[in-house]
Structure 1
Amino acid sequence: MAATGSKSVLFVCLGNICRSPIAEAVFRKMATDAGVVDKWRIDSAATSTYEIGNPPDYRGQACMKRHGVPMRHVARQVTKDDFMSFEYILCMDESNLSDLKRKGNSVKNLKAKIELLGIYDPQKQLIISDPYYGSDEDFEKVYEQCVRCCKAFLEANS
């Protein structure tokens, strides 16, 4: 699933079935298109245990298909090892951020830089809202935010 490269990013949301697998798929396609995917380890995970083992939300999968972005993921929870092995852990909202910082505090060899993915948004939309209880348009908005943020993040780390 995750290529082994010199750089690494883990995208995180609450359940790992909507926002973070979209961000993971978008970033993987951008890195592939830019010819740098081999330099990256790319994955996504959840702060919660709610959806472990489940595929991405069908609405997110449909959105990715419309945009020609391949998506293959099974939901998992963030592990202590993730904090030690990923360079960046990028999350979607303030709740994810506080959960990750709390979990990260219990890790001795914390390596990861924990940030909101939205800090990379050129349109300055800091929070990527959970589309789970929303509509197809909400998934489209998440996709568009992820495209902007991932593009800027990739440029900043190339």
Structure 2
Amino acid sequence: MESDQERYPTSGHHTTQHTHAKGCRSLQEISGLQVVGKGVYKKLEWPGSVPKDGRGWVQVNVVLGNICQSPIAEAVFRKLATDGNVSVNWRIDSAALSTYEVGNLPGFHGQSCMRKHGIPMNHIAWQITREDFATFDYILCMDERNLRDLNRKSNQVKNCRAKIEPLGSYDPQKHLISKDPYYGNDSDFELGDQQCLRCHKAFLEKTH
């Protein structure tokens, strides 16, 4: 059976660089990440955490690299939850299955798309761990491979609580698979944003 390391190599595919100009926020300030080793990050907290009494849910959008589709989905859902005055009920994030892009900011096209719609995006890519399946409530993925690999990981977690679903399962237009715009242009990212918006509106309606 193919191991996580074989499926998602930790080196040789992407060089992670961190450039912080004077006065810029740290990794931890931006997205609750702490560097615990070379190319290794630990998630300490989530922006907009739920009250300390524990009420609320954790929702995380997951794809392979966490610099394209998933941070857009995270930003869109956070905006919807904020506008709907229910953000206090949620901890919202996005994560990667691989380590290819860990430590990197979202791609230019995705950031540009979010700016166009006035949606804040503050995220640095990090990799989901097996422990997270025991604490997250909802893990929404973008395609069948993501779903298969997340289910495989969850089966290795004895006390898994996460409900794993394709984000597209909430799409009123019945587009189950979210097309990856990574190699596309601005219009592809716009289509991805619109699907995220449709899906997360439906998701909020179902969970509230």
Partner of 1:106: 156
Partner of 1:142: 192
Q: Does 2:163 match 1:118?
A: no
TM-score, structure 2 normalization: 0.74
Q: Distance in 2 between matches of 1:93 and 1:144?
A: 16
Q: Distance in 2 between matches of 1:95 and 1:137?
A: 24
Offset of residue 4 of structure 1 = 2.6
Q: Select which of 76, 79, 89 maps to 1:29.
A: 79
Residues 8-157 of structure 1 aligned to structure 2 (within 5 Å): 8-157=58-207
Partner of 1:4: 49
Q: Distance in 2 between matches of 1:107 and 1:98?
A: 15
Q: Which amino acid aligns with 1:58?
A: F
**Structure 1 residue runs without a partner (length 5+):** none
* Higher normalized helix content (fraction of residues): 1
Offset of residue 86 of structure 1 = 0.8
**How many equivalent pairs are there?**
158
**Structure 2 residue runs without a partner (length 5+):** 1-30, 32-45, 51-55
Same amino acid, percent of matched pairs: 61
SS of 1:140's equivalent?
helix
Offset of residue 129 of structure 1 = 1.1
Structure 1, residues 37-57: CA drift from partner, whole Å, max 9, x if none?
A: 011011100111110000001
Q: Distance in 2 between matches of 1:109 and 1:58?
A: 38
Structure 1, residues 5-39: CA drift from partner, whole Å, max 9, x if none?
A: 21121100110001110000000000000011011
Offset of residue 81 of structure 1 = 2.1
SS of 1:127's equivalent?
coil
Q: Which amino acid aligns with 2:154?
A: G
Offset of residue 135 of structure 1 = 1.0
